[in-house]
Structure 1
Amino acid sequence: MGEEVHITDSTITVAGVIVDSNTLGGAASTITDNELLDKILERLSKLNFRNILAENLAKRTPETGRGVIDSSWFKEWLMNLLGGIVWGTGMPGAGKTVLACIVIEYLQELVAESESKDVCLLFAFCRYTERLMVIDILLAILRQLIERHPQVLRFVKPMYERHKRENTRPSEAEVIDLLKRIASSGLFKQTFYILDGLDEAASDIQVALLDMLSSLPVNFFITSRPLDCIKDLVPNARCFTIIASNHDIALLIEQRTHCMPTLRNLLMKNVALKAEVISMISSKSSGMFLLASLQLDMLKGCASESDMRKALKGLPQGLDNMYDMTMARIKALPGPQASLAKRVLTWVTFAQRPLTVEELVLSVSVCPETFRFDDKMEPAGIDSILSLCCGIVQVEATTDWLERSINVVRFVPQLNTW
């Protein structure tokens, strides 16, 4: 066992002997700080929101979201050293999470450019697939803070030592008080908090998170579906609507068609047709990336200009009609494929908790007649499963980098009448 080490501002106590830290030289102090850092991180939450950030940035279409980043009100929010709350709301598929990740990426660049390292950025994601408690999210935020800014150790150390001694866990109030003291300490010129998916937390957790995080002297950026019932909790928040612009939809179409050889070749040869595709999808997608993506998926089988124009005329308007048509496409698949797609949608929709990729593959390999696992029914892989479901089943990153969960992007009532 190593010696017990205690640190004050000017001394280090090793095995009961008090030593002036200035006489030990910088190396000894650094080693001790690193050991303390490791011990504190060991006791904190293991949640890592960076996995969700990385996956969404990898999926996003380059240059989307510039409308928000370049807006005058966003620049005003950035420059407000006294803090301020910005709350963006949008319908499912409008690109809320991707926008939050774009903002995080932009702020990360500001942090990197800060020579004095006095800009702090912390972020969290709420997910239906991970029912986190408020304390879990707060401790994950605190962990991020310590990992990126070890200079806050002097604030964290007293709380760590007391709870280690008493074998207890900090309360929500303690962590918020600690975050408030750090944000107000003058250690950072500016602190940014980003919270995505507030609507995906339970209603009581929504209120608690909003109350606690909005009380901090920080620049706070929130994204969610419309939550009019709790907006009064932050009356001074600047609210804006998240919607995919026609420019962003065009960028999405450009990126997606690049991965569809037949469609790409068809549009490359006909500039007028390409412009018509972009115009039609933009007008019918209602500002939702999800809807635009599903509509584009309906066009990928077109092999001629005639096929394309016919398909464009048949594109549904609105999300409900789009899902009705997508379900009709799934039902029209050859028998075995339609059966597999139905089993996938049934398991994902009615599972009592989100399934991992591996669990879903095993679940759909259970024979519906015998209720036994049949390895001969096991699908080739998750990609084939997702393809059969025509875009309404997605794989989501979680805070555990070893696992990804399955999410149906909307409840599918047609399953009852399949």
Structure 2
Amino acid sequence: MSFGFSVGDFIAAIELANKIRKEFIDAPGQFKAIADEVRTLSIVLQDADFAFLSRELNNEQKRDLEDIDTGCRNVLDELQRILDKNTELSSENGGVGKRIKRVWKRLNWKPEDISQLRNRISTNIGFLNAFNGRLTRDNVVKLIRHQEDQGRQAVLDWLTTIDFAAQQSDFISRRQAGTGQWLLESAQFQTWVETNQQVLFCPGIPGAGKTILTSTVVDYLYTKIQKDTNIGIAYLYCNFRRQDEQTAEELLTSLLRQLAQGLPSLLGSVKSLYDNHKDKRTRPTFNEVSGALQSVGALYSRIFIVVDALDECQASDGCRTKLLTEIFAFQAKSRANIFATSRLIPEINEQFKDSMRLEIRASDYNVQRYLDSHMLQLPRCVLRSSELQGEIKAEIIKATNGMFLLAQLHLDSLKGKTSPKAIRAALEKLPTGSAAYDNAYNDAMRRIEGQLADEEKLAKRVLSWITCAKRPLATSELEHALATELRESQFDEENLSPIEDMVSSTIQHNNTSSESRGVGFQMQKLISRQLALRTSHSTSSRVGFAKTTRSSNNGFS
């Protein structure tokens, strides 16, 4: 608190009040009223002292309490001075060494002075009671609010466990500074942001950076609206490796959850879903979720819905069509704006044929910024030559042709080169287009196969588990999967391979030639991301290599 106010100040006031109470014990009857006031003040001070010790007060409460304490000390100090002035000490029976007692001078203390002091004491008692009462009410309100928050969270968690916040944090943290500014500043995007019920469709080739740009849009929206609770934001990151859990029902429920948790209190229609199904252990139907979503949406003045990678949303059983149909229906009944990304797929293009459109491509400027920030990863021969650095940037930018991911793959392919001649030879052979992914992944496999036999086997087993698992694996899960032995009835912990060895076999091949060091290309990034993450539901494990032309492990989708 200000001025050094602390619990010691309260103790001093309480001690002074108790001292004055004792001095009133032998006072005449006409002083009983003020003695009772001091006694009451002492009790209330002790209550406030307990509140000060047992509760965490905010700054406003601390200032109020300090003011009240100052008022109490002032009136108690004045009362002590009056007592000292209007009494004298004398020896009982006049004997030396006899017991000393207080003798009152009744006539020197005017009744109006006593009345004024009583009023001041009573006023401070009132302040303290009001303060203690306010604290009690605040605590009751906090307790009720805490219970409500717990119940609210239980309902939201019951709706769905799918949470895209982790993906958003992961993708935006890997965004190169300045990336996507062209999109945010484009006329189409600004129209979409400023006008109600607009749809902006952003198709793009594989590796163009759609996912990173989507995270940029989400971040922009949250920054723009800040604490405006009248505007709702909900977003989805579709993932082909999670199609089993990302059904139309679950994705729509995720939108419901995100919008519901943005409201100050839980809407009755959402609570009704919980009450009607929780005890029965059933799940709400698609229509029930849709109805609740409409109810929640009606409470916002504006809503932004962002969907990334629609092409990865399950197309079988009409899942993708069902989801899009419901999102468009929601838009028609609310003030929602829709932003969506996808690869160039005719079926999806048809559904957005009447929408604003802005193709996502990696601009030369953004690719150069990426290369500038990663140039230090290349061999010393490159770092010593600004001319060679310029050649590398120019050739990679030319080969990238709007595919951001290729910039990363091509840069990685130069890391094992040890001379300017080898660098320039590699630059002349940089593949372009989607076929470049095949070359990159095949080259990475050749590097792995060039290791010692045990390292090669471990690297391939790591890759197999990561790519074939139905969901992203935690590091500990991967360790145990690799340590599991066929035809063994018990798990042997001595068979666990350290994470460092997994990384070494797939990324840092120190026992091979400089040409073979590192798994290289996107596979290197895949493994390094997977093994570095310590959470079981990492969102950066989307895998695509060999004959697959998509890889969004680094957000380039």
Q: Give the TM-score, by structure 2 length.
A: 0.60
Residue of structure 2 equivalent to 1:402: 536
Residue from 305, 326, 345 that aligns with 1:212: 326
Residue of structure 2 equivalent to 1:197: 309
Give the counterpart letter for 2:251 in structure 1: I
Q: Distance in 2 between matches of 1:208 and 1:65?
A: 30
Listed as ranges, the matches of 1:63-82 within 5 Å are 63-81=178-196
Residue of structure 2 equivalent to 1:278: 393
Matched, 1:307 2:422: yes
Rate the CA distance shift 1:154–1:374 in 2: closer, same or farther, 3 A. Answer: closer
Q: Distance in 2 between matches of 1:269 and 1:225?
A: 40
Residue of structure 2 equivalent to 1:325: 443
Residue of structure 2 equivalent to 1:153: 267
Q: Distance in 2 between matches of 1:58 and 1:284?
A: 26
RMSD: 3.4
Structure of greater relative contact order (alpha carbons < 8 Å, 6+ residues apart): 1
Shift, 1:33, TM fit: 4.6
Q: Distance in 2 between matches of 1:134 and 1:214?
A: 14
Q: How many residue pairs get matched?
A: 380
Rate the CA distance shift 1:98–1:30 in 2: closer, same or farther, 3 A. Answer: same
Q: Distance in 2 between matches of 1:289 and 1:85?
A: 25
Matched, 1:229 2:347: yes
Moved more, 208-217 or 343-352: 343-352
Matched-pair contact (CA < 8 Å) for 1:349–1:411: no
Matched, 1:106 2:216: no
Residue of structure 1 equivalent to 2:504: 384
Q: Distance in 1 between matches of 2:465 and 2:486?
A: 12
Shift, 1:36, TM fit: 4.5
Rate the CA distance shift 1:86–1:384 in 2: closer, same or farther, 3 A. Answer: farther
Residue from 455, 468, 475 that aligns with 1:337: 455
Residue from 216, 233, 240 that aligns with 2:358: 240
Matched, 1:89 2:226: no
Rate the CA distance shift 1:80–1:337 in 2: closer, same or farther, 3 A. Answer: same
Residue from 119, 138, 160 that aligns with 2:231: 119
Rate the CA distance shift 1:373–1:237 in 2: closer, same or farther, 3 A. Answer: farther
SS of equivalent residue, structure 2 residue 240:
coil
Residue of structure 1 equivalent to 2:65: none
Structure with max Cα Rg: 2
Per-residue Cα deviation, 1:103-130 (whole angstroms, up to 9, x for no partner)? 1111110121x5x432211111121232
SS of equivalent residue, structure 1 residue 193:
strand
Residue of structure 2 equivalent to 1:4: none
Residue of structure 2 equivalent to 1:128: 240
Q: Distance in 2 between matches of 1:407 and 1:373?
A: 30
Residue of structure 1 equivalent to 2:165: 50
Rate the CA distance shift 1:361–1:160 in 2: closer, same or farther, 3 A. Answer: closer
Rate the CA distance shift 1:401–1:211 in 2: closer, same or farther, 3 A. Answer: farther
SS of equivalent residue, structure 2 residue 330:
coil
Q: Which has the higher helix share?
A: 2
Listed as ranges, the matches of 1:177-192 within 5 Å are 177-183=291-297, 185=298, 187-192=299-304
Rate the CA distance shift 1:233–1:376 in 2: closer, same or farther, 3 A. Answer: same
Q: Distance in 2 between matches of 1:336 and 1:157?
A: 56
Rate the CA distance shift 1:341–1:55 in 2: closer, same or farther, 3 A. Answer: same
Q: Distance in 2 between matches of 1:290 and 1:216?
A: 35
Rate the CA distance shift 1:67–1:307 in 2: closer, same or farther, 3 A. Answer: same
Matched-pair contact (CA < 8 Å) for 1:316–1:325: no
Give the counterpart letter for 2:497 in structure 1: E
Give the counterpart letter for 1:238 in structure 2: M
Per-residue Cα deviation, 1:261-320 (whole angstroms, up to 9, x for no partner)? x53x54444322222111111111232222211111111123443332233223333323
Rate the CA distance shift 1:362–1:160 in 2: closer, same or farther, 3 A. Answer: closer
Q: Distance in 1 between matches of 2:158 and 2:275?
A: 11
Q: Distance in 2 between matches of 1:173 and 1:401?
A: 34
Q: Distance in 1 between matches of 2:441 and 2:165?
A: 32
Q: Distance in 1 between matches of 2:384 and 2:458?
A: 37
Q: Distance in 2 between matches of 1:322 and 1:251?
A: 22
Matched-pair contact (CA < 8 Å) for 1:49–1:123: yes
Q: Distance in 2 between matches of 1:350 and 1:41?
A: 31
Per-residue Cα deviation, 1:344-394 (whole angstroms, up to 9, x for no partner)? 344445556655544444444568999x98956825445335525423245
Per-residue Cα deviation, 1:60-112 (whole angstroms, up to 9, x for no partner)? 2121111111111110011112x122222223322111111111111110121
Q: Give the TM-score, by structure 1 length.
A: 0.78
Give the counterpart letter for 2:232 in structure 1: C
Give the counterpart letter for 2:235 in structure 1: F
SS of equivalent residue, structure 1 residue 86:
strand
Percent of aligned pairs with the same residue? 27
Per-residue Cα deviation, 1:127-160 (whole angstroms, up to 9, x for no partner)? 1232222222222222222323234524534444
Rate the CA distance shift 1:243–1:384 in 2: closer, same or farther, 3 A. Answer: farther
Give the counterpart letter for 1:93 in structure 2: G
Give the counterpart letter for 1:150 in structure 2: P
Give the counterpart letter for 2:503 in structure 1: D
Q: Distance in 2 between matches of 1:57 and 1:302?
A: 31
Rate the CA distance shift 1:333–1:35 in 2: closer, same or farther, 3 A. Answer: closer
Q: Which has the higher strand share?
A: 1
Q: Distance in 1 between matches of 2:457 and 2:158?
A: 47
Q: Distance in 1 between matches of 2:461 and 2:535?
A: 27
Residue of structure 1 equivalent to 2:368: 250
Residue of structure 2 equivalent to 1:289: 404
Q: Which runs of 5+ in 2 are unaligned?
A: 1-136, 508-517, 549-557
Moved more, 240-249 or 37-46: 37-46
SS of equivalent residue, structure 2 residue 461:
helix
Rate the CA distance shift 1:373–1:332 in 2: closer, same or farther, 3 A. Answer: farther
